[in-house]
Amino acid sequence: MRLASPPLNEKLPSKSAMDTQGPKPEVNLEELRATGAIDPVVNLSTPEIYEQGRSPTDNAFRKQIRQDANVASQGVTVDQYIEKMNDAGIWRSLLIASRCGDTNVAHSTEVPYEMIHKVCQEHPERFSGLAGLDPTKGMTGLRELEVAVNDYGFVGAHFYPHWFAMPPDAPQIYPYYAKCCELDIPIMMQVGQNLIYNRERRLPSVAKPILLDQVAIYFPELKLIGIHLGTPWHNEMIAMCWKHENVFMAGDAYAPKYWPQEVVHYANTYGQDKFMFGTDWGVIDPVRAMREVAELGFRPGPHKKILRNTAVRVFKLPDPIWADEA
């Protein structure tokens, strides 16, 4: 789930400080619609999520990643997050209806599909949904995934291997891969290490990127996205993307200025069609992330693919391709 390289985030101005900075310039939504970034990895971090105990992280984790105190204690509303997206230059965010462990086990949490669907209905041009998977639900989970895609319009699936102690090639998840193929949606999953998100529920790292190899072979039509860079095995993640045409990776959960040089080179050259920007909000602030991507100096063509075009194509989003990506 959520990772980051220290220092993990920057302190954001307090609300009172922001109020004294004067009015913000008006956002050109038409321009944002045409060229704004797509963030494919976003967690709903609203006051309701915190009040209902749906956040899987504890205060110790939030302190470890240096999360902004206001966000860590009370979250931000959907409207406030849209303001962040506007300030950052992000047009659409994909919201995860996360499933963090078997809910029969203590300290497991989930964000209901219906909660994400409601936000997407209210802001259809700014948000799309991703259906979190719980392999312990068996056929019930498969039917719920069908509802999420066919009835709610979700554009992909999401899986946390560590929350279920199931690596990407575990047999329990294979029926969900097959269902994703049937529904013609991609699936993203956290690969690499995971941190201690809750001191009362310490989880092992079970998803080295190389474990995507056999999955990609069995399901060549299934688009597999390894999120969180695969750290500390980012070269394995690059190798899987290079080997398999259906494997992609995302740079979320780590501030872009800490992306390994091998990743930056890959995204800027022979992997420009296989790498996507992302934040894993509320780990990395979107304004910071977009600023630091710009500072990495990507060539114009790869830059457009990283920020927008690859996500539009992989998730089959209704947004236009950012032109002149060559």
pLDDT for the residue numbered 68: 85
Instruction: Kindly report whether the peptide bond that precedes residue 302 is cis, defined as omega within 30 degrees of 0.
Output: no
276 membership: H or E segment, kind and range: strand 275-276
Digit-coded pLDDT (tens) for 177-235: 999 999 999 999 999 999 999 999 999 999 999 999 999 999 999 999 999 999 999 99
Tell me if 19 is assigned to some domain.
Answer: no
Exposure on the CB side of residue 82, measured as CA atoms within 13 A: 14
Assess whether pLDDT exceeds 60 at residue 18. no
User: Does residue 22 carry a pLDDT above 70?
Assistant: no
For the chain, give the mean pLDDT.
92
Structural domain of residue 73, as residue ranges? 35-315
Identify the CA nearest to 136 among candidates 106, 187, 96, 100: 100
- Given a cut of 90, whether residue 1 has pLDDT beyond it is no
Q: What is the CA radius of gyration of the chain?
A: 18
Q: How confident is the model at residue 2 (pLDDT cuts 50, 70, 90)?
A: very low
ω into residue 7 within 30 of 0, thus cis? yes
Residue 15 lies in a domain: no
The reply to whether 172 falls in a domain is yes
Domain membership flag for residue 326 = no
**pLDDT score for 286:** 97
Q: State yes or no: cis peptide before 282, omega within 30 of 0.
A: yes
Contact at 8 Å (CB) between 236 and 209? yes
Q: Looking at the predicted structure, is the pLDDT value of residue 11 above 60?
A: no
Tokens of 34: 């045409």
Query: Residue range 24-38: average pLDDT?
Result: 90
The residue written with tokens 């969900």 in the block is 176
Condensed to tens digits (0 to 9), the pLDDT of residues 303-318 reads 999 999 999 999 999 9
The yes-or-no verdict on residue 7 having pLDDT over 60 is: no
Band of pLDDT at residue 73, cut at 50, 70 and 90: confident
Q: Examine the pLDDT at 76 and tell me if it is beyond 60.
A: yes
Does residue 91 lie in a domain region?
A: yes
Q: How many domains does the chain have?
A: 1
Domain for residue 8, yes or no? Answer: no
Residue 197 confidence (pLDDT): 95
Classify residue 241: in a domain, yes or no: yes
Is 278 part of a structural domain of the chain?
yes
**Residue 296 CA, distance from chain mean position:** 20
Q: Is the pLDDT of residue 12 over 80?
A: no
Give how far the C-alpha of residue 113 lies from the chain's centroid of Cα atoms, to the nearest Å.
16
pLDDT at position 23, please?
67
Question: pLDDT higher for 57 or 3?
Answer: 57
The Cα 307–Cα 118 span in angstroms is 26
The CATH code of the domain that includes 238 is: 3.20.20.140
